[in-house]
Amino acid sequence: MNLQPPLPNNELDRLNALRQYQILDTPSEKVFDDLTFLAAQICHTPIALISLIDGNRQWFKSKVGLTVPETSRDLAFCAYTILQQKPLIVRNALADSRFATNALVLGDPNIRFYAAAPLITPEGFGIGSLCVIDIMPRDLTLEQVEALRILSSQVMAQFELRRHAITLSRTIIQQQQTAEQLRQQHDFIEVFYRRGEEKARKGDYEGAIVDFNEFLRLNPNGFKAYYNRGLARQKLGDYEGAIIDFDKYLRFNPNDVEARQNRGLLRFELGDYKGAIADYSSAMNPHSDNSIPGDMGFTYSEVENKEAVVEHTHYLELHSSDIDIDTDINITQTHTRSVLENNTNTFDDSIQFLPFHSDDGEVYVTLSNTQYQPEESTQALLLSSDQAKLYIQRGHARCELNDYSAAIEDYTQSLKMNPHDPQAYISRGNARFILKDYTGAIDDYTQCLWINPNHAKTYISRGNVYCELEDYSAAIKDYTRCLELNSNNAEAYINRANARSRLKDYHGAIEDYTHFLQLNPNDAKAYISRGNARSKLKDYSGAIEDYKRVWSKAIEQLPKLSSEEI
């Protein structure tokens, strides 16, 4: 009766190690056949095998001198070989109690001699052997045994190459599957961003913010959405929220000129003029801070991050309305507004009156709100990074801080870069007017009118300077030119009326006050001024009528007393 070979103590782990090579039942391969051929030649045996011990069988990966592909594990000499780390030599199987009754000894192929070097994995598991077999008892020299061991090591080296290839292939497949999952996840998340862009383009800024919120919830480092959500909030008038978003975006991309310029405009609008100046100055020197903290884009994979870095220059073209800067100036201050366009809405012009303290009573002259709006301007809300524009914007912020000299320097720098910008001439003229540089102011307004001779408000501004210089005739010409361009300009009427009064042209002044009051019927000062002019012409009844209107309007504005209070 054949003795069954004992099982290794680590049989389950050993079988698992064998399975990792995925070599059982594979076709013959030349690299292994060459090794068995060498083993047979070196050891001078008719049979050489690469044998692998499975759970219930012995399977031959390569064989010389034998035709059967496998045998039962109970008959396998190699089942003993895997129990040890060194070669197993059986000089005469008939004389060995382990094999004397083995069917492979008593029958075909009549094994008498067996020598095998175990196939040991790097983890120490014996999974099979490289063996040589003869039908006669015999022995091997030490050199032959060492050669057999070396050849078995080469067999295992080939097995390891196979396992590494399998592991690499599996890793690649897993990476491909993971990449596909990430791509699908990215595509899903990206839908919210693209949908937010589309809604913003259509003017649905609230809907855009909802989608950008969801995009950022799923991808908090998707910095491009912070910028675009800030633009949408800006359009809705949520300037504080927009600044918070621009702050987050600029932490990822601190050198983005347009973002700093846009945040500067918002800070200006909220009265943070120093912050606005800082942003404009940084925009002029965008590489002063080269640090870029944090992840630049999507966090799904390195590929996605690189894509996000490229996409950081792809911003929403949310808006098609004009960008303009209105500058309102009176005798004591400059009020500069950055118009963050809300579709086609612009800031209403205000009229400031300048008292002259004349003998004629309440005579006053207004200083225009100067602005330049080229008809062809169709800029988007994203602001130009042009240096000249940045100097103008910083100049406006400096005017708000009453630093008119520095503002003039900025406007001058802008004009060096773009000497044909009417807005820069207007702004510098306004600042010069505040500093009482009337000659310089006139030069700037004149340069603006050379560029745009139909800009009505610049005529008013230059007329106001002529009034300061008491050149009322020149002032009247400018106001008249303004009215030729816009016959309903109340400011031009009231200023020309005041100038005519100074020249004692009371008939002309009364006519202008009347036009003004048709446009502003509740202006008390205009009634007083017209009454003064009528009084000069001895039209006392007309003068009294104007004064009465002022009195009646003053009475109307008094708080009404209840019957109990009376």
Averaged pLDDT in 10-residue chunks for the chain of 566 residues: 83 95 95 97 97 96 96 95 96 95 94 97 96 97 96 96 90 87 83 92 94 90 90 93 93 89 91 91 69 37 35 32 33 30 32 32 33 36 60 92 93 91 94 94 94 93 95 95 93 96 94 94 92 92 89 70 50
CATH of 337-557, one of 1.25.40.10, 3.40.980.10, 3.40.640.10, 3.30.499.10: 1.25.40.10
DSSP class of residue 2 equals P
pLDDT at 563: 52
How many residues comprise the chain? 566
Query: Cβ distance 489 to 482 under 8 Å?
Result: yes
> What is d(CA 65, CA 430) in angstroms, rounded to the nearest whole number?
108
Same fold flag, 189-311 and 337-557? yes
pLDDT at 474: 95
pLDDT at 79: 96
Residue 488, helix vs strand vs coil: coil
Question: CB neighbours of 21 closer than 8 A, spacing ≥ 6?
Answer: 127, 159, 162, 163, 166
pLDDT at 497: 95
pLDDT at 357: 31
> What is d(CA 89, CA 78) in angstroms, rounded to the nearest whole number?
11
pLDDT at 142: 96
Q: Where are the domains of the chain?
A: 11-140, 189-311, 337-557
Domain 189-311 has CATH 3.40.50.300: no
> What is d(CA 336, CA 314) in angstroms, rounded to the nearest whole number?
31
CATH class as words, domain 11-140: alpha beta
pLDDT at 2: 63
